[in-house]
Structure 1
Amino acid sequence: MGMGVLSLLAGHDAARAQAEVKTPYWASIQKDEAFARAGPMATYQIEWVFRRKHLPVKVIKRYGVWRQIVDPSGWSGWMHANMLSRKRTAIVTGLVIAIRAEPQDAARLMWRAEPGVVGELGDCEKGWCEFAVDKRAGWVRQDQIWGAGEP
């Protein structure tokens, strides 16, 4: 009996912690297909269908289980919270970028990533961020990706 109550309380704490998250914050799409609507209810029309799992988005408003998101292009719509993850990702913007072995321009070039490549975001420091695509990781300049820094 004690375990059931304990797990119920843990679930309640997790829900409360989720409810206390301040906007704006970074999130990522966690489904292969995610619908964005004109407003924060299922009765609003679907305006966009995202088919980019792990795409970074910025959550700018909350309304119940709905989140108003902004995508990397600046487009905004409403998405159900279960379509989103707090997993931090980033997308390459602008030009082909260099992924370096260390957080500095002179570091060894590991590989390059073209605009639109999405990767998992690690720690950021002094204008550089850890960035991993599949099993390959390295460092990128923070100003060359969208999804890092303050939302």
Structure 2
Amino acid sequence: MSKTVAPSALAALVVLALLPGVAAHAQQQPAAGQTIGSNSKLPVPRYVSLKSDRVNLRAGPAKDHRTLWVFQRAGLPVEITAEFATWRRIRDSEGAEGWVLHSLLSGRRTALVTPWDKDKGKEPTPLLARASDSANMKARLEPGVIVSIETCDGTWCHVTIRNLDGYIQQGRLWGVYPDEIIE
């Protein structure tokens, strides 16, 4: 029997914020098209997640810049596109961009399941028992569900959500690059 997990059930996922994997960013090397951040010495662009359930997205890299948006979803994956001192310019899955303090971001890798299907009434994404289209389905994940990334091999990602773990095709996730390897 499989389960369906909806985005509204994501509040419980905040407890996943301290999972292992944060140190993986410290060892990353820049890929083609990436540079090294002047302050963090980490690749830019790169994916991270929001540490808090209240993160102000600002128009510029200082607290006196106006707030464009307030994120209210800890664990949400975002992409760092630039750095300035203690500020990071980020982009979310819908393309909204702005600046946040680096201390509000976590190196923990998360991803959104098919956020581009949110308003289209598409079928849920299967969470499979192994990295194969023929594997048994463990759950159906609705568009917009946040999963924690354990590993990715460039085609499949091993993910966790609450007490479930399984595999999702990498192309069905926003928060990992195509062909990206995460160990």
Q: Which stretches in structure 2 are left out of the alignment for 5+ residues?
A: 1-38
Q: TM-score when scaled to structure 2?
A: 0.70
Cα deviation, residue 149, structure 1: 2.3
> Which residue identity is paired with 2:162?
D
> Which residue identity is paired with 1:61?
A
Picking from 156, 159, 168, the partner of 1:131 is 159
Between 1 and 2, higher relative CO (CA 8 Å, sep ≥ 6) is seen in: 2
Question: How many residues are matched?
Answer: 134
Alignment match, 2:142: 114
Alignment match, 2:126: 98
Alignment match, 1:71: 92
Q: Which stretches in structure 1 are left out of the alignment for 5+ residues?
A: 1-17
Cα deviation, residue 22, structure 1: 2.3
> Which residue identity is paired with 2:42?
V
Runs of 4+ in 1 over 2 A off after TM superposition: none
SS of residue matched to 1:124:
strand
Cα deviation, residue 116, structure 1: 0.8
> Which residue identity is paired with 2:79?
K
> Which residue identity is paired with 2:87?
W
> Which residue identity is paired with 2:126?
A
Q: TM-score when scaled to structure 1?
A: 0.85
- In structure 2, relative to structure 1, the CA distance for the partners of 1:80 and 1:126 (3 Å cut) is closer
| CA RMSD, Structure 1 to Structure 2 (Å) | 1.4
User: Identity across aligned pairs (percent)?
Assistant: 32
> Which residue identity is paired with 1:135?
N
Cα deviation, residue 134, structure 1: 1.1
Q: 1:66-124 deviations in whole A, cap 9, x for unaligned?
A: 00000011111100001100000000112410000000100010111001100101111
Matching of residue 149 in structure 1 with residue 177 in structure 2: yes
Cα deviation, residue 126, structure 1: 4.4
Picking from 105, 110, 118, the partner of 1:84 is 105
SS of residue matched to 2:43:
coil
Equivalent-residue separation in structure 2 for 1:22 and 1:98 (angstroms): 31
Alignment match, 1:22: 43
Equivalent-residue separation in structure 1 for 2:105 and 2:41 (angstroms): 16
Equivalent-residue separation in structure 2 for 1:50 and 1:34 (angstroms): 5
